[in-house]
Chain A
């Protein structure tokens, strides 16, 4: 191991070498990458390492502190079980893209300056699009292009912000930025696109469900949480983020309820969960930032688990539409259990990981007196239980028996799901090791009677509401459909506007051409009238007439000459 090398570089360089290894050795090599990265991470010493001077600036490739370590650690853990999950695949494009993408995210987390952050930021965009294109469908190709434009756009905005920031401050160090000028706004918007802020969010629901079975699992782990890290580093305590965060938590729940594609439901749920973290970063107290980091950590685990279970269903059944699923608990009992563990965790049931992490955020919000924001977060907690906690497992594995019968998920998928499932329960039951990893010292006890009682009431009454609505057939049936969202603007409205402008432009051009043609015709007719065979200019002129004209011209010339001289 090279002392204090960023673990991200191990995954990036290793990922690029994957095509050179074949067969079983490739699988071992791919599994070894996150393990080596993990060993490297354990050996890292706090401080700034891997510094390179370029012009007047210093790039720092390994800034090691508790904030970068916890995000780096969970990214490596996710990369490890994601690799196991995809061992049955033999698509070299995906096998290269997955570790490079994970490595880029880890590299960005350890980047101590804004330039190297930008480099890794763009690398996450470029590497991850191949996880979508690996599906090799026309739809995936166009979705991937849309995704790439937005992600690279985020990087370009970041670069513009960094240049302005460096000009103003004379430094590129990536520390607290705060929201105070155009540079910081640009950087915040770049982070916001990746975090899927409201109205900047729809790339997430557009792209993630269109990736491959394994690609979606990989995609879900890194990008938005990298943005959460970047916000926690650059904009803690920016009050506006509280309100951005609560909107993020609340509005996706309505779309998730009516969404038919289960992986898209999870994408909405991802949006909702990141909202909790953004809101907590907006509060900015040590307890709140601990909450955001803890939530990101456990969220990656249970969200991977949920995406994995839905990926296993898609892999076995060939569809992930709720309207066509149901009753799969008989065919895929182990996957069902894993999915329920993920669902219980995201719903923050006591003894599951979501409970011990989300509690930190809600307590921080309440302690700082943000009553309205706190109420919205509690509402969103009920909402996430509704669509991720109940809808996902219920419609896939229970509900109406769809008649679909299939084999249980492949062994590698089951092993991969077992790891996050174990972590969901282990962290929920014994949160102290997670708390020890958090950026600030923790003095928090999640398992008080009051807290457990409140949370159990919230989740079980929410379950009861679902049961009553389902029993009384009020609950809307799942339907094959497309639900419009902000992507309608650039997928329908803007193209329609362009078509309209082209049509109008074409008509204007045609009209202008017609007018020009008419005038030209008229001019030619005039010329023809005067110079044509019957025109006045075509007549035969007598020599005497010509002499007269010449004399007149000369006379005129002389007169002018005389007047000028006079």
Chain B
């Protein structure tokens, strides 16, 4: 995605997925969709089994935080468990 930002003059010759305009459209489209889904909780009262589920946008917040946590935990885990590719062959 972001590597395309350094070569604006070559944008038109790039495959469609690597054009900045396409990538930006996908990204901001996703942001818009998430905003709509988050706001939907303000107008629609969801049926829930647990009381904390009724907090507006709770699933979105939880999903976002979970994924960020997983990535940062993964970065930390790499320091602990990552070895060379041929580690077991040596």
Among A252-280, those with CB < 8 Å from B are: 253-255, 257-258
Bound CA span A484–B78, Å? 9
Residue positions of B touching A, CB distance < 8 A: 1-3, 15, 17-18, 26-27, 30-31, 33-34, 37-38, 40-41, 44, 46-50, 53, 57-68, 70-71, 73-75, 77-78, 80-89
Whether the Cβ atoms of B60 and A458 lie closer than 8 Å is yes
Partner of B50, one of A366, A383, A475, A491: A366
Residue of A455, A456, A464 ringed by the most chain B CB atoms within 10 A: A464
Instruction: Tell me the nearest residue of chain A to B40, going by C-beta.
Output: A453
Whether the Cβ atoms of B2 and A473 lie closer than 8 Å is yes
Main SS at interface, chain B: helix
Nearest-neighbour CB distance to chain A for B64, whole angstroms, equals: 4
Partner of A386, one of B33, B67, B77, B80: B67
A460 an interface residue at 8 Å Cβ cutoff? yes
Whether the Cβ atoms of B63 and A481 lie closer than 8 Å is no
Among A461-516, those with CB < 8 Å from B are: 461-467, 469-471, 473-476, 479-485, 491-492
A382 an interface residue at 8 Å Cβ cutoff? yes
Instruction: Tell me the nearest residue of chain B to A371, going by C-beta.
Output: B50
Whether the Cβ atoms of B74 and A257 lie closer than 8 Å is yes
Whether the Cβ atoms of B59 and A476 lie closer than 8 Å is no
List 6 additional contacts besides A450-B48, A471-B27; criterion CB under 8 Å: A329-B17, A374-B50, A401-B15, A453-B37, A470-B2, A482-B88
Bound CA span A330–B14, Å? 12
Q: Mark A215-256, 1 if CB is under 8 A from B, else 0.
A: 000000000000000000000000000000000000001110
Whether the Cβ atoms of A464 and B62 lie closer than 8 Å is no
Nearest-neighbour CB distance to chain A for B21, whole angstroms, equals: 15
Bound CA span A461–B26, Å? 14
Whether the Cβ atoms of A465 and B84 lie closer than 8 Å is no
Name the B residues within 8 Å of A492 (CB-CB): 88
Whether the Cβ atoms of A382 and B62 lie closer than 8 Å is yes
Residue positions of A touching B, CB distance < 8 A: 139, 253-255, 257-258, 327, 329-330, 363, 366-367, 371, 374, 378-379, 382-383, 385-386, 398, 400-401, 448-450, 453-467, 469-471, 473-476, 479-485, 491-492
Main SS at interface, chain A: helix
Instruction: Tell me the nearest residue of chain B to A459, going by C-beta.
Output: B63
Whether the Cβ atoms of A481 and B44 lie closer than 8 Å is no
Whether the Cβ atoms of B71 and A257 lie closer than 8 Å is yes
Instruction: Tell me the nearest residue of chain B to A259, going by C-beta.
Output: B74
Bound CA span A467–B57, Å? 19
Partner of B73, one of A254, A480, A485: A254
Instruction: Tell me the nearest residue of chain B to A398, going by C-beta.
Output: B17
Nearest-neighbour CB distance to chain B for A397, whole angstroms, equals: 9
Bound CA span A329–B77, Å? 31
Instruction: Tell me the nearest residue of chain B to A365, going by C-beta.
Output: B49
Name the B residues within 8 Å of A471 (CB-CB): 1-2, 27
Whether the Cβ atoms of B44 and A467 lie closer than 8 Å is no
Whether the Cβ atoms of A258 and B82 lie closer than 8 Å is yes
Whether the Cβ atoms of B2 and A481 lie closer than 8 Å is no
Instruction: Tell me the nearest residue of chain B to A329, going by C-beta.
Output: B17
Bound CA span A371–B84, Å? 40
Name the B residues within 8 Å of A460 (CB-CB): 30, 33-34, 37, 60, 63
- Contact count A vs B, C-beta below 8 Å: 157
Contacts A254-B73, A398-B17, A473-B2 given; indicate if A367 touches B67 (C-beta within 8 A): no
Name the B residues within 8 Å of A258 (CB-CB): 74-75, 77-78, 81-82
Nearest-neighbour CB distance to chain A for B50, whole angstroms, equals: 6
Whether the Cβ atoms of B34 and A482 lie closer than 8 Å is no
Name the A residues within 8 Å of B48 (CB-CB): 450
Whether the Cβ atoms of A255 and B15 lie closer than 8 Å is no
Instruction: Tell me the nearest residue of chain A to B68, going by C-beta.
Output: A465
Whether the Cβ atoms of A383 and B66 lie closer than 8 Å is yes
Nearest-neighbour CB distance to chain B for A265, whole angstroms, equals: 12
Instruction: Tell me the nearest residue of chain B to A492, going by C-beta.
Output: B88
Name the B residues within 8 Å of A484 (CB-CB): 80-83, 87
Contacts A371-B50, A469-B68 given; indicate if A453 touches B2 (C-beta within 8 A): no
Name the B residues within 8 Å of A382 (CB-CB): 62-63, 66-67, 70
Whether the Cβ atoms of B74 and A254 lie closer than 8 Å is yes
Whether the Cβ atoms of A479 and B63 lie closer than 8 Å is no
Nearest-neighbour CB distance to chain A for B78, whole angstroms, equals: 5
Sample of 13 A–B contacts (CB below 8 Å): A255-B81, A398-B17, A401-B18, A457-B41, A457-B57, A458-B60, A461-B67, A464-B30, A465-B68, A469-B71, A470-B2, A480-B85, A484-B80
Whether the Cβ atoms of B74 and A458 lie closer than 8 Å is no
Whether the Cβ atoms of A483 and B83 lie closer than 8 Å is yes
Name the A residues within 8 Å of B64 (CB-CB): 461-462, 464-465
Nearest-neighbour CB distance to chain A for B11, whole angstroms, equals: 14
Partner of B46, one of A371, A453, A485: A453
Name the A residues within 8 Å of B68 (CB-CB): 465, 469
Bound CA span A400–B3, Å? 8
Bound CA span A374–B53, Å? 12
Contacts A450-B47, A454-B46, A460-B30 given; indicate if A481 touches B84 (C-beta within 8 A): yes
Contacts A457-B38, A460-B33 given; indicate if A253 touches B85 (C-beta within 8 A): no
Name the A residues within 8 Å of B89 (CB-CB): 139
